Amino acid sequence: MKTPQGIASKIGTGITGIALLAVIVIAVTFILSNARIRMDLTSDRQFSLSDGTRKILEKLDREVVLKYYFSSSADIPIDMKNYARHVEDLLQEYRLAGRGRIILERYAPTADSDAEEWAQNEGLEPQTVNPFAPPAYFGLVAKCGSEQQCIPSFSGIDDAKLEYTLTRLVSRVLYPQKPVIGVLSSLPIMGAPMNQMAMMMQQPRDEGWMVCKMLKEDYELRTVPPETERIDAEITLLIVMHPKELSDKALFAIDQFVLRGGRLIACVDPLSSMDARSGGNPMMRMMGGTTPSTLGKLFDAWGVGFDTTKVIADLGAVTTLSSQGRVVESPTFLWLKRDRMNRNDLLVAPLSQLMLPFAGSLVDRTAGKLVFTPLLSSSEKDSGPIDAMGAQFASVASIRTQFRPDNQPHVLAARLKGTFQTAFPQGVDNTHSNGAANQLINGNSAVLIIADTDFLADENCVRAVSMGFGMQSYQPLNDNLAFFLNAVEQLTGREELLNLRARGSLKRPFRHVDELDLKAMRAWQSKEDELSKVLEGTRAKIQALQAQKKGAQKLLLSRDQQAEIEQFRVTESQVNRQLKEVRKDLNRDKETLGVVVKSVNIAVMPVLLIVFGIMRTVSRRKRLS
């Protein structure tokens, strides 16, 4: 029989146990809330510091002070508070990876406080989050010695660009000297000059393409006129964009720049839609025509083949577009995924997808005199060249109907490296007055050739997104900007930021679905070819029967003609029915795949828990028995 003392003792023991458990839970919760335990399970490690960031932080030989400002008042929207927490978490990662060289300071500016005055003096932008509340601050200042840089506001920076922005800020204060880049272009990528009419109408100034706006933040850009005869010695990298009909003197200037060890990015194009819109011959613009671009004699001297009359179509890399209110899949707007990129090359290794409209192809004819490294290529079985003029005016449907693959990959971008031969051994105009060297002795030149120019136009690589409070941000549609900006950083010798820009892509490819689409596309094209052959045969028979008639009989259809037409209608109906079945089969396969994926996502975890529970029960019974 249990005594009152025994019952009281057990109750006391139970209460003590519960109290100890509560203390342990509170202690563990407190420890874990302050501990920085993180596990990044994303495939591309989007929530971990990239190798590029870690390398630059590991090489720090000086202290970098990061002054983080955030006004954490009650008026701040909850979305901004959550984002501010994310920014602070990432800054903590920088502090830990810096091994004592990154000093993180936090400030919470309030109205009329010293922190607010410091924020204003250091260039941070006040933000109005509530018309009846004081302005808020949300930015970062980096200091290293006498050098200081800042991010005026984080509000216009999304998650995809956050790490790159922070690492670039640290890089700026460590290496404040900006490399000089020359830009030679027939397209208004640097912005068009303001004419008097635009000024009178108070139109906003054309600041150029987004790629140049971003380059200006880290480099000194200098315009090089197309009629130039010499490239300044201070220019370390020359960007040549759509070089149309360059004179021999301009080609000679580029030739000499490469021979003396300069780095070159050449974007050439058999068909540039941006060129047709922005300039050139007025008659050509009215007709929708455009002039192709090439480096001509330089390509010949280097051993690079480039056909200015052909663009590449690829049924395995179609891009979904909106055309005249309908959604179409264009084979000339190439959507290149990882399998179309050289995964062994650091320049494109971190990228996920690129989009190249009306791209041409490059051919390796170097014969081993230079190292020709393909970076981007079309698919092997589903791509081939088509006429550039025809691609410009033809509809997507007609291109897909008439296109025939040539069963070989086509190089869309390549890198050249080694000892370059001059294209002008006798100088310009076959005179010795220009004294061109026969070759580069040290072999330090590097040339990147991209067979497209439209891929950098804003409409093809970014979209504007309203961030609220009058702020606007630009989100990447693909990795086009990342590809080009990475190339600039690599060729200017600043590779520490190389792996950062491709993180957080908006479009995630579904490879199996893409394969189903491609399979249906091939079946559809086969049925269309069958219908076209039947139609051509019927027309030929009708014309042959018509030729046998005389006089007024030609106005009437004979029984044979009526029979041929009726037979064609029957065949057309059958083929159209088969085309519908092809589409139904594709949709059925996609729906089946969707059901499988949903079933796995919904059922796998409960099934695993049940199996674990059964195994645990069986194991316990075995131990008890």
Report the 10 Å Cβ neighbour count for 170.
23
Q: pLDDT tens digits for 66-119?
A: 999 999 876 788 888 888 998 999 999 999 999 899 999 999 998 889 999 999
Q: What confidence category does residue 505 fall into, taking pLDDT thresholds of 50, 70 and 90?
A: very low
CB contact at 8 A, 364 and 291? no
The answer, yes or no, to whether residue 51 has pLDDT greater than 90, is no
172: in domain:
no
CB contact at 8 A, 180 and 220? yes
Indicate if 479 and 546 belong to the same structural domain.
Answer: no
pLDDT of amino acid 12: 63
Q: How many residues does the chain have?
A: 625
Of the three residues 161, 189, 215, the one that is the final residue of a domain is 161
Indicate if 121 and 202 belong to the same structural domain.
Answer: no
Overall domain count for the chain: 3
43: in domain:
no
Cα dist. 104→51, 67, 90 in Å? Answer: 21, 6, 11
Distance CA 201, CA 349 (A): 47
Q: What confidence category does residue 432 fall into, taking pLDDT thresholds of 50, 70 and 90?
A: very low
Q: pLDDT tens digits for 195-240?
A: 566 555 555 566 789 999 999 988 999 999 999 999 999 999 999 9
SS3 334: strand
Indicate if 195 and 291 belong to the same structural domain.
Answer: yes
- Provide CB contacts within 8 A for 150, sequence distance 6+: 122, 123, 124, 139, 140, 141, 142, 169
Indicate if 334 and 459 belong to the same structural domain.
Answer: yes
Indicate if 498 and 529 belong to the same structural domain.
Answer: no
For residue 370, what are the β-bridge partners? 418
The answer, yes or no, to whether residue 194 has pLDDT greater than 90, is no
The answer, yes or no, to whether residue 23 has pLDDT greater than 70, is yes
428: in domain:
yes
What are the DSSP calls for 181-227, one per residue?
Answer: EEEEESS-TT-PPPPHHHHHTTPPP----HHHHHHHHHSEEEE--TT
Indicate if 212 and 157 belong to the same structural domain.
Answer: no
SS3 471: strand
For residue 319, what are the β-bridge partners? 330
pLDDT of amino acid 500: 59
> To the nearest whole percent, how much of the chain has pLDDT over 90?
37
171: in domain:
no
The answer, yes or no, to whether residue 556 has pLDDT greater than 70, is no
Q: What is the CATH number of the domain that holds 113?
A: 3.40.30.10
pLDDT of amino acid 278: 67
CB contact at 8 A, 400 and 283? no
Of the three residues 161, 194, 209, the one that is the final residue of a domain is 161
Of the three residues 128, 161, 194, the one that is the final residue of a domain is 161
Indicate if 479 and 428 belong to the same structural domain.
Answer: yes
The answer, yes or no, to whether residue 470 has pLDDT greater than 80, is no
pLDDT of amino acid 95: 93
Q: pLDDT tens digits for 323-340?
A: 666 777 889 999 999 899
Distance CA 560, CA 543 (A): 11
> To the nearest whole percent, how much of the chain has pLDDT over 70?
69
SS3 414: strand
194: in domain:
yes
What helix, strand, coil percent values describe the chain, rounded to 5? 45, 20, 35
pLDDT of amino acid 76: 83
Q: pLDDT tens digits for 233-243?
A: 999 999 999 99
Indicate if 573 and 485 belong to the same structural domain.
Answer: no
Distance CA 19, CA 593 (A): 52
Burial class of residue 120 (count of CB atoms within 10 Å of its CB; 0-12, 13-18, 19+) = middle
Indicate if 414 and 527 belong to the same structural domain.
Answer: no
Indicate if 394 and 495 belong to the same structural domain.
Answer: yes
Q: What is the CATH number of the domain that holds 202?
A: 3.40.50.880
Distance CA 228, CA 214 (A): 25
Distance CA 525, CA 442 (A): 53
CB contact at 8 A, 428 and 249? yes
pLDDT of amino acid 558: 64
Q: pLDDT tens digits for 347-406?
A: 888 788 999 999 999 999 999 999 999 999 999 888 999 998 888 777 777 777 778 889
pLDDT of amino acid 408: 92
Cα dist. 622→148, 608, 609, 611 in Å? Answer: 69, 21, 20, 17
For residue 67, what are the β-bridge partners? 105, 141
Cα dist. 46→56, 165, 211, 383, 477 in Å? Answer: 18, 14, 23, 33, 17
The answer, yes or no, to whether residue 435 has pLDDT greater than 50, is no
pLDDT of amino acid 392: 77
Computed over every residue of the chain, the mean pLDDT equals 79
The answer, yes or no, to whether residue 160 has pLDDT greater than 60, is yes
What are the DSSP calls for 337-368, one per residue?
Answer: -GGGB-TTSTTTTT---EEEET---EEE--TT
1: in domain:
no
Indicate if 483 and 579 belong to the same structural domain.
Answer: no
Cα dist. 182→35, 226, 404, 449 in Å? Answer: 49, 11, 40, 16
pLDDT of amino acid 67: 96
CB contact at 8 A, 262 and 446? no
The answer, yes or no, to whether residue 464 has pLDDT greater than 90, is no
Indicate if 211 and 243 belong to the same structural domain.
Answer: yes
624: in domain:
no
- Phi then psi dihedrals of residue 235, to 5 deg: -80, 120
Strand 138-144 and strand 147-151: pairing? antiparallel
CB contact at 8 A, 383 and 409? yes
- Provide CB contacts within 8 A for 491, sequence distance 6+: 237, 263, 265, 446, 448
Q: pLDDT tens digits for 234-291?
A: 999 999 999 999 999 999 999 999 999 899 999 999 999 898 776 544 444 445 457 8
CB contact at 8 A, 144 and 173? yes
Opening angle at CA 450, ends 446 and 453, nearest 5: 130
Distance CA 151, CA 141 (A): 6
pLDDT of amino acid 186: 93
- Phi then psi dihedrals of residue 240, to 5 deg: -110, 115
For residue 355, what are the β-bridge partners? 335
Q: Which of the two residues, 490 and 224, has the higher pLDDT score?
A: 224
242: in domain:
yes
Distance CA 439, CA 419 (A): 7
pLDDT of amino acid 238: 97
Q: Which domain holds residue 526?
A: 513-595
